[in-house]
Structure 1
């Protein structure tokens, strides 16, 4: 007779109960952690730490074989940990899975997870643009399509959980992980994250998206990685929890990952209020909570809130964690934790039930293996979507008329990022991610700006000079990677200050009609680069001697078009007024060179709009548009503020906004505001604009931001063409968090501002919200809408 848990005809809860009743405590503990393995298609699997001197030898491999017979919850990054051909990697994963099914007592399959923030992180997968690029498109449907393509590649290699998206709300661009965020507006982050989760998971949720880093990770002390966060719950809920709430409630996200830091002395991995009370009980989250790599062990190693690994495991799992990643640093001590009375078997059963439920829902018991013929990386459709995201995210900040480039001028393409494929990629792209591991990965699929411009303009019209280095030689030697057992000593800054290449760049500029100066930063984890996880900064000046290079180029008198790539905005220290154009491209991925060349030559319109403000200086940090009145100090600090505000971006034409009006000037506290505006293309060529609606609560019982984005709509018009945009905003969206932790909407006057950026407001109206203060239900209305009529 077939066991109930092996019969797909039974409900998931019945299969879970049957399997759980058959499991020994050790088999249950095994489901609560992962192994980080170098998989082998012949079955000679080894732990990743075996690569270091301390963890080598047959004895460790034999011990792994014995431990695997108990089963395992997950396998960490089977294809993303090292350079392996996808077909070889899938064969190795299938070999391990066959062992799980056929050589363990109960045959429980393992779940494989990979990174997939900017594309599936494995060899030959499509290298997508960064999250800042996603956000800069202001196009949730495009973000959803990108995530669908990433999900397609992930599924094709057997990935069942993707460690993305990042829902951290940018607050201080010195933070190295700014590149991983969708921007600085919590609602916009929520909109984009919801679209990404919907795209990645699909309607069946047969690939789990992982919301991270729960929560507040981006508002750390000094914008330093892992540093403490100082927030009360009201601001935490309104700014940092909001995107997570949206992605859980609107997109049914399948997984959540806590963050490394502590908030008000409580580490994220042991925060039962956030992981259980808020996430599960208040929001109804029904997925699995997985640790950030090494996050459980940091409870005793860094935070000092536990004595040892057994206690750390008990703290995390009691708080709401389901699976320790990337391996079993602390979970291997769960038996000791039970024996010491730190955690109960009832809690263990509760956790393992959730883990098994997801495995049954994902169909792993019925389809544990991946057909090699299904592998599909770098197909034409996926590359096209990556290029579309890159192109539509490019943001033009300055233009004196030199762009778009027409004809066949002599162009000097100079700068350290002009012909460096890695300069177009973010930290969670496969080639960049492996720098710290002393591995080298070819990047032939990446088209650089130099290559694309030569293709469009012809080799004879393009002169190239590097001008300077950012980092002369990309090297490993970063601090320990979370989850590693060893690690190399902290290195000195790798940034180059060599100016010897600048004269050659100046000569190239003097011999040309236009200069395209490609500058920015290089992603690299843990200070192997100038931006990325653990690569925080104390300055918003361009790294190295790039500023000197730009100054020398501007002094030639030739028009200088600056193309800035990277994971954070930088200042040009006054050169913004002297350059001919400034194009912000972020980290546009493998198709980024084509996207940049398309916009520079007018083949495409610069449609990007800023999702992070570009602050005047590092002294303005932390800075974000939706700040409070007193944020600038008293008197208002001269260095506070932003040269290029949130929502800003230039195109090839101009737009006007007029006739901003309300359908009703008074609406009930549970009602909806209807706002219309007439938009006209007043320029000489076709183009698009993002119309933005901000709300200001004129008088509230608690301090509120000066303005908050609540709606937006892109509109594309021909010259002199007009359209009427009608926005509908649920009054629910005017809420804030009260001291008792409840979201409320208060009656009173709210100003609705319509503009083309947070600073370029073209019209404002006031609506009166009537009734009594309303405590929002769990399923409150989070999204606005817009109808466009010609």
Structure 2
């Protein structure tokens, strides 16, 4: 007789109950953690080890695999392996799980996929910051679907993306992983990313991270404590997570490393259970950030040992420890000490098994190595389109667009002009591998650099090149990661690896002098744990360009030749006044493998620039943390001279001009329970060429029971207009979206007057009106209206 759990015709709940009843305690615990292995096609797998994640026990590995396994950590993303060989090695592991263990429970595979599947040969997409700069949720959903297709083709069941952290301080290295500084924009983009990645069937789990507040750490330092009250935490940082859970049915959530008001996120039952599951209705898996459980006893000091750390996390709401088994295997000890109950373990294992059944793993455990599909024409086209739409023009004195037919001599200069790794984010496969001691830094042949793209558009004979300087002379692994890695972290004598060599600036100046125009590419290099100048663990203490890049730029500007500056990388930088002396300033972020050609197309006017900033560029590092949706008193009294942003949230220029007029409000009063703020306005392309405008709608609560921001984004659109064309834009903002967290800790909407501001950026408001919300203060229900609409009239 077939066991109930092996019968696909049975309900999932019945299969879970039957399998749970057959499992020993050790077999249950094995489902609550992962192994990080270097898989082999012959089944002789080895344990991956490093100073960050530690290692599982190699000697007992085969014996322990006989108990089963919850997840395998990054089977194709940990080292350079051909995709087909990697799939065969994964299938070998799966064969052990399915055919050689007592119960035959298949293993889930997870991979990183923030900027594309993090595996050799996969498409290298732009950074998340570039995703946000497109202001195009539909495009990001299409892109995420392409990433999901690549992930499924190599047998991935869970992708560790997207990042929903709301940028607050651009010194933070992980700024490049965010969509931007506005919680609503982040929520919309994340919702679309999750829908695209997971698909309608949720047969690939997206993972929302880092839950929550990770981006507002002390001094913008990685893992540092976060000081937030519940209201600000809920209104700014939790909103995107709530949107993605409720609107996109996200399959997984990953808690963050830090503590909030002295409570580590990995041990917070309030966050992981009370809010996430009980209040929001989340039904997926909560997976630990790598070694996040261990940190409870190693760093936070809230647990005495691994057993207590495991008990704290799993009691709080964790389901699976990643990337290995540092603490989960001590759960039998925790059980004996009364730190966790058998019922809690059964509840957690039941959730893990539910997802495995729901994903169809028991019926289809193996991967078809002949169905692998990476870097398809469709995926490459999407990577190029995202890169195109993310380019932001910050300054332009009329020099742009360049005319390829003019046959101008162009000098391309700078350390990021022909560095393929400079076009990639920290969670791209080539950059991530710098952490591997065996990995040699090398050019990525599939990446089109700015130099290559410009030569393709303008002609090799018209484009010369001089590097001018380096950002890092050598990309290498080995920086101290944890406080325990050094004897005294307060007196750490750890020299910056950033290059100070100015010997090649003269050659760059000569190249500019021999050209008609200079394009200078400067910025930073993504790299984890100080293998770069931006990225996880690569935080900054200044917003000046790293190394001698400012000196290079100053020297080229002094030649008197028109200079176009292209900023690439994961955070904005100040040019110390040169912004007003250059011919143009362009923010290109890290544009992925199609970065160079996309940039060249925009500079040549082949593609109209439509990118808009989703992070503000602070005037001075003394202004940080700076963000557009600050409180009125944030500038200090008197107003600090260094406060503000020259290029604020929502800002970006076009090659044409737009006029906003004819604002028409449907009603100047709306009901607090069912009302919508509805209005129309017209946008006219007043220039002589086609363009794209990004209308942005901001709201200010004029009088509230709690201090509110000066303005908050509540709607946005993307409107394409031919030269001289006029379109009517319709906007509907549900009154629910005027909410904030009240003294009760719940979201409320209060009656009163609200300023409606319509503009081309947060600081360029073209039309205003006021709407009054009528009724009595109400607490929002669980399923409140979370999104507005902004579209052209039919």
When normalised by structure 1's length, the TM-score is 0.98
| Cα deviation code 1:544-570 (max 9, x no counterpart) | 000011100110000000011000000
Per-residue CA shift, 1:134-166, capped at 9, x if unaligned? Answer: 000000000000100000000000000000000
The superposition leaves residues 252-284 of structure 1 with CA deviations (integer Å, 9 ceiling, x where unpaired) of 000000000000000000000000000000000
Task: Find out whether 1:465 has 2:469 as its counterpart.
Answer: no
Could you tell me how far 1:167 is from its partner in structure 2?
0.1
Report the counterpart of residue 392 of structure 1 in structure 2.
389
Q: In structure 2, do the counterparts of structure 1 residues 461 and 53 end up closer, same or farther at CA, with 3 Å as the change threshold?
A: closer
Which of the numbers 160, 169, 173 marks the counterpart of 1:172?
A: 169
Equivalent residue number for residue 572 of structure 2: 569
Q: Describe how 1:517-666 pairs up with structure 2 within 5 A.
A: 517-666=520-669
| Equivalent residue, structure 2, for 1:451 | 452
CA drift at 1:787 = 3.4
Map Cα deviations across residues 447-486 of structure 1 (whole Å, 9 max, x no partner).
11101111222221111000001001111113348999xx
Q: CA-to-partner distance for each residue in 1:657-689, whole Å, 9 max, x for gaps?
A: 012231100110021110111111111111110
Contact 2:163 2:210 in 1 (8 A): yes
Q: Pick from 190, 195, 200: which aligns with 1:198?
A: 195
After TM superposition, the structure 1 = structure 2 runs for residues 351-366 of structure 1, keeping only pairs within 5 Å, are 351-366=348-363
What is the aligned partner in structure 2 of residue 376 from structure 1? 373
Alpha-carbon shift at residue 61 of structure 1 (Å): 3.5
Structure 2 match to 1:335 = 332
CA contact (8 A) 2:174 2:536 kept: yes
- Would the alpha carbon gap of residues 613 and 495 (structure 1) be closer, same or farther in structure 2, given more than 3 Å must change? same
Unaligned runs of 5+ in 2: 486-491
Aligned residue in 2 for 1:752: 756
Contact 1:327 1:483 in 2 (8 A): no
What is the distance in 2 between the residues matched to 1:142 and 1:187?
A: 17
CA, structure 1 residues 334+346, in 2 after alignment: closer, same or farther (shift >3 Å)?
same
Tell me the equivalent position of 1:742.
746
The alpha-carbon deviation at position 224 of structure 1 amounts to 0.3
Given the alignment of the two structures, is residue 18 of structure 1 paired with residue 22 of structure 2, yes or no? Answer: no
* 1:506 equivalenced with 2:509 (yes/no): yes
User: What is the alpha-carbon distance in structure 1 between the residues aligned to residue 625 and residue 362 of structure 2?
Assistant: 49
Q: Is the 8 A contact 2:53 2:290 kept in 1?
A: no
| Change beyond 3 A, Cα 1:393–1:116 | same
Instruction: Map 1:690-709 to 2 at 5 A.
Output: 690-709=694-713
Q: For 1:401, what is the secondary structure of its paired residue?
A: coil
**Are the equivalent residues in 1 in contact too, given 2:431–2:526 (CA < 8 A)?**
yes
Structure 1 position 491, deviation (Å)? 5.3
User: 1:513-556 CA distances to partner (integer Å, 9 max, x unpaired)?
Assistant: 01000000000100111000000000000000000111001100
CA distance in 2, matches of 1:490, 1:105: 53
Aligned to 2:7: 7
Cα pair 2:509 2:555 within 8 Å, conserved: yes
- Rounded Cα–Cα distance in structure 2 between residues aligned with 1:679 and 1:405: 27
Measured in 2, the distance between the counterparts of 1:392 and 1:366 equals: 42
| Residue equivalent to 1:47 | 47
1:752 deviation in Å? 0.5
- Which SS does the other structure have where 1:61 is aligned? coil
- For 2:677, which of 673, 677, 680 is the aligned residue? 673
Quote the residue 2:410 is aligned against.
411
SS at match of 1:590: helix
CA contact (8 A) 1:229 1:263 kept: yes
Q: Is the 8 A contact 2:421 2:443 kept in 1?
A: no
C-alpha displacement at 1:362, in angstroms? Answer: 0.5
1:594-616 deviations in Å (ceiling 9; x for gaps): 11111111111111000000000
Cα 1:418–1:787, aligned 2, differ >3 Å: closer, same or farther? closer
CA contact (8 A) 1:326 1:483 kept: no
Please list, as runs of the form range in 1=range in 2, the aligned pairs for 1:281-360 lying within 5 A after superposition: 281-360=278-357
- Secondary structure of 2:718's match? strand
Q: What is the deviation of 1:717?
A: 1.1
Secondary structure in 2 matching 1:14: helix
Determine whether 1:92 maps to 2:89. Answer: yes
Identify which range, 17-26 or 403-412, moves more after superposition: 403-412
Superposed CA offset, 1:347-381 (max 9, x none): 00000000000000100000000000110111111
Q: Is the 8 A contact 1:660 1:754 kept in 2?
A: no
1:316-361 Cα shifts (integer Å, max 9, x gaps) = 0000000000000000101100001000110000000000000001
Give a deviation string over 1:668-715, Cα, whole Å, max 9, x none. 002111011111111111111000100000000100000000001111
Provide the residue aligned with 2:728 in structure 1. Answer: 724
Pair 1:265 & 2:262 matched? yes
Q: How many Å separate the matches in 2 of 1:271 and 1:370?
A: 37
- Residues 492, 404 of structure 1: CA spacing in aligned structure 2 closer, same or farther, 3 A cutoff? same
Q: What does residue 79 of structure 1 align with?
A: 76
| TM-score, reference length from structure 2 | 0.97
Would the aligned equivalents of 2:608 and 2:691 in 1 still touch at CA under 8 Å?
Answer: yes
Tell me what 2:208 maps to.
Answer: 211
State how far apart, in whole Å, the 2-side matches of 1:254 and 1:465 are: 48
SS at match of 1:19: helix
Kept in 1: contact 2:608–2:690 (CA 8 A): no
Q: Does 1:479 align with 2:467?
A: no
Offset of 1:437 from its aligned partner?
1.3
Match of 2:715, SS state, is: strand
Tell me how far apart the structure 2 counterparts of residues 405 and 481 of structure 1 sit (CA, whole Å). Answer: 48
1:788 paired to 2:792: yes
Contact 1:293 1:482 in 2 (8 A): no
Distance 1:598 1:50, change over 3 A: closer
Report the count of equivalent residues: 785
**Distance in structure 2 (CA, Å) of the matches to 1:778 and 1:301:** 37
**Could you say what secondary structure the match of 2:680 adopts?**
strand
Change (3 A) 1:242 1:103: same
User: Aligned equivalents of 1:672 and 1:293: distance in 2?
Assistant: 43
